Structure 1
Amino acid sequence: MKKRFAAMVLAVAMLLSLCPAAMAEDLVYFTAVDERVLDLNDSTMPFWFGGYLYVAATVFRESGVGYSYNIVSQTLVLYDSSHSLVYDVSTGSGTDGQGDVYDHVCVTRGGVTFVAASPVASYFGRTYSNTRVNHGYLIRVKSSSAVLPDSMFTETATYQMETKYQQYQKNTTAVQTPDRDPTGTETTDPAENIAGKSIYLCFLAEDANTVSEWLDAMENRSGHAAFYFTEEALARCGDQLRRLAASGGAIGLVPSSGDHPTEQLDRMNKTLFAAAGVKTRLVYAAGADISTLQSAGYCPLTPGIDRSKYGLTTSGEASSLLKQIHSRRSAMSVWLGSGVTIGALRTFLSSASAEEDRLLSMTEIAS
């Protein structure tokens, strides 16, 4: 056993010597079923939502749970010989085999449906674990067929995870370049412009009608984004919050300036839960003590580009922003604020689509 493990470690070292080292590393979530590590990619990457880690529903199919998806009725069914969960993908709601409402919604992102890992695993007699590993975390769902305990599997799966991570890095290089002037006057080597970017757009949500227009524009382009709500907006945007919760858009909170932001955020989460049945740890709090928020369990947004001072109101500004994003090598988060007109947003989304960019919801890792 020791000889096999030593050989495995040597193989990993050789693999690393052949791959270019990244100047910066993004934490990722690996997923595994029993003794097999699944492919690592953005489309099926687990994420935190409503206080639970969500995994692609297909993970449970890999674990031997029955899986049926009806594209016409927009219904996903997970089942075994004695249990079933029926999800309405369009609303996110679910019921169990007795027709009772299930406590945990499903979330759809980029055409992939995700479910809450821990409670669904327990429901179908599986066990679930979340282990810190090199490059991030390993989410493992175990059936009765699993042989190795988590501690031993984490060691023996090192080569599998390293191989999949290096392949993932080839597609999403994690090198961050210095910030640049958002007016578009910077000079950039055209050879460094990289299409097919992962973009996390972040809006300041204050007005219900405006949020609905932004959501319409995003959905027309099959894109996702993050919407950060003020406390006042939470009280009047119930429909928009429920729409985001069902569609997989990210919901964040914006506390007002004060001495006790965590108390306000806890209160805001209660309002959010009452409106949409979810809670969030995503926060935008410019000027707040980041370490205090993190200690309280929140994930403050630190955008790669802050566009809020300039707005996004013309096609020229939309073009300039996309050029700025493409001058960076890594995935990019953009804080747009609330000064975004629907025409400029549509222009930006159309151009991003032409470049094959991926418009993603903010996650707790990316924030």
Structure 2
Amino acid sequence: MNKRHSWLFRRLAILLVCFSLLIPPPAAAAEVCFTAVNDNVLPLTADTMPIWYKSLIYVPYTVFDSGSTGVDLGLNSTYDPSSATVNIYNLRQILAFDLNAGTCRDPSTDTYYNVRAVIRNGRPYVPLNTVCTFFGLSRSYNSIRQGYLLRIKNEAVVLSDSKFIEAAENLLNMRLREYNRSLNPGSDTPSTPGTATPSAPSTAPTEEEPVTASDVSVYLAFRCTDAGSLSDLLDALDAKSARAVFFLTPQVLKEHGDLVRRTLGQGHSVGLLAQGDTADQTRLLLERGNELLAGTAHSRTTLAMVPDDQRAALSAQGWVCWQQTLALSPTLSSGVNTFAANTLRRLNRLNRQTVYLTMDADPGAVRVLPTLLRQLKNNHYLIRIPMETRL
């Protein structure tokens, strides 16, 4: 009897493992899944994003084509809309998908496989496992900090998955920022005073649908040139269960390690505040700040608040540079309710789905913050956690 129970247990364990492989990832993962080919992360677009279909991973047929990805897997792929066929091939083999018939076939042996290609948004997708197995490619699917990573590999791959994920950290962050901004292009432009250049009216103007508060994501940042008000700001945020990013100078990181650790421990993000005369000087300050952050809290960051004219150069180097929508400047004489109401009116006029608010970490901010947070939440604004992958 014991042997039989043991046998049944092993069978059940195997079935559970097999079943788990068929379960699709949660919705968030399905929304953000990177594709890498060998040691290259592809841009995060609809042309590369995998989908799930009947518990199988499907990828755009172009992922296997060296002309589309720039990475040579030894394969080419074609799509003929007139015949509704997709062919993936090399010099020795061909795998043919007929979208109308719903078939997958090896023409050289007349072997049929029990899968099909599908069309999503006008683009053919093919079953990953079938194509990889047919052409002798390997694949992996890993959970990463930014979402999920699907990786397709042949014998030319250099890095292991763990090494690749570590080496590609900054690039993955950049790809995700580009993708988020493509979904919300208006959030990338700072609000600056001045006269707008009028654009020519369209021949058939349409009324723009206003953005409601419940659609708006708010990110809070505090500029910390010293740590005098940091503890009070942390208390105020904690009381409202809100999160922010604190941009700290190297000096604050060096002298106030306890507050840095508390900031991270309460779920906030820590960024680096650096104001060099040139991009190179600022980069050195950022690198110094990261060294201090690693020594103080065993953490590193790419979040940075830098001079406006250096943002493009430093972003190209992998830094996630804060770009504010509104700079808020409360004082000790500001009426807290009036300040909060004025801020909400300014947000309403922006009509944006993502806004970035910056305040100096000073007693004025401590004074108005509880009321501002309450008014934002009462008016259904969504206060988000600022992270390297979300800005």
Q: TM-score, normalised by structure 2?
A: 0.49
1:257 CA drift (Å): 2.3
Q: Secondary structure at the match of 1:218?
A: helix
Partners of 2:184 and 2:277 lie apart in 1 by 38
Residue deviations 1:283-331, cap 9 Å, x none? 11124422321232211111111235x6684312222112212332311
Partner of 1:200: 219
Instruction: State yes or no: 1:330 paired with 2:348.
Output: no
Alignment of 1:143-154 (within 5 A): none
Select which of 335, 349, 352 maps to 2:373.
Answer: 349
Report if aligned partners of 1:130, 1:137 keep a CA contact under 8 Å in 2: no
1:207 CA drift (Å): 3.4
1:244 CA drift (Å): 2.8
- When residues 311 and 283 of structure 1 are mapped into structure 2, their CA distance, relative to the original with a 3 A threshold, is farther
Partner of 1:319: 341
Partner of 1:21: none
List alignment gaps of at least 5 residues for structure 2.
1-20, 35-39, 65-116, 124-179, 194-206
Select which of 210, 232, 241 maps to 1:213.
Answer: 232
Partner of 2:103: none
Q: Secondary structure at the match of 1:329?
A: coil
Partner of 1:361: 385
Instruction: State yes or no: 1:252 paired with 2:163.
Output: no
Partners of 2:315 and 2:366 lie apart in 1 by 34
Partners of 2:59 and 2:300 lie apart in 1 by 29
Q: More deviation in 196-205 or 251-260?
A: 251-260
- When residues 149 and 258 of structure 1 are mapped into structure 2, their CA distance, relative to the original with a 3 A threshold, is same
Residue deviations 1:23-64, cap 9 Å, x none? xxxxxxxxxx878353249xx9889xxxxx9xxxxxxxxxxx
1:272 CA drift (Å): 0.4
Report if aligned partners of 1:223, 1:358 keep a CA contact under 8 Å in 2: no
Q: TM-score, normalised by structure 1?
A: 0.52
Partners of 2:287 and 2:31 lie apart in 1 by 27
Partner of 1:280: 301
Instruction: State yes or no: 1:134 paired with 2:45.
Output: yes
- When residues 193 and 291 of structure 1 are mapped into structure 2, their CA distance, relative to the original with a 3 A threshold, is closer
Partner of 2:241: 222
Partners of 2:311 and 2:190 lie apart in 1 by 21
Residue deviations 1:185-242, cap 9 Å, x none? xxxx9x9462222100110123334111111111211111110001111112212222
Partners of 1:209 and 1:219 lie apart in 2 by 18
**AA of the residue aligned to 1:277:** H
Partner of 1:38: 26
Q: Secondary structure at the match of 2:213?
A: coil
- When residues 275 and 221 of structure 1 are mapped into structure 2, their CA distance, relative to the original with a 3 A threshold, is same
Partners of 1:241 and 1:158 lie apart in 2 by 50
List alignment gaps of at least 5 residues for structure 1.
1-32, 48-52, 54-128, 141-145, 163-168, 182-188
**AA of the residue aligned to 1:342:** V
Partners of 1:157 and 1:242 lie apart in 2 by 50
Report which structure shows greater RCO (CA 8 Å, sep ≥6).
1
Partner of 1:306: 327
Select which of 249, 253, 260 maps to 1:241.
Answer: 260
**Which structure has the bigger radius of gyration?**
2
1:336 CA drift (Å): 1.4
**AA of the residue aligned to 1:229:** L
- When residues 223 and 136 of structure 1 are mapped into structure 2, their CA distance, relative to the original with a 3 A threshold, is farther
**AA of the residue aligned to 1:329:** R
Partner of 2:170: none
**AA of the residue aligned to 2:370:** R
Report if aligned partners of 1:203, 1:336 keep a CA contact under 8 Å in 2: yes
1:136 CA drift (Å): 10
Partner of 1:296: 317
- When residues 157 and 216 of structure 1 are mapped into structure 2, their CA distance, relative to the original with a 3 A threshold, is farther
Residue deviations 1:235-272, cap 9 Å, x none? 12212222232333111111132332111211110100
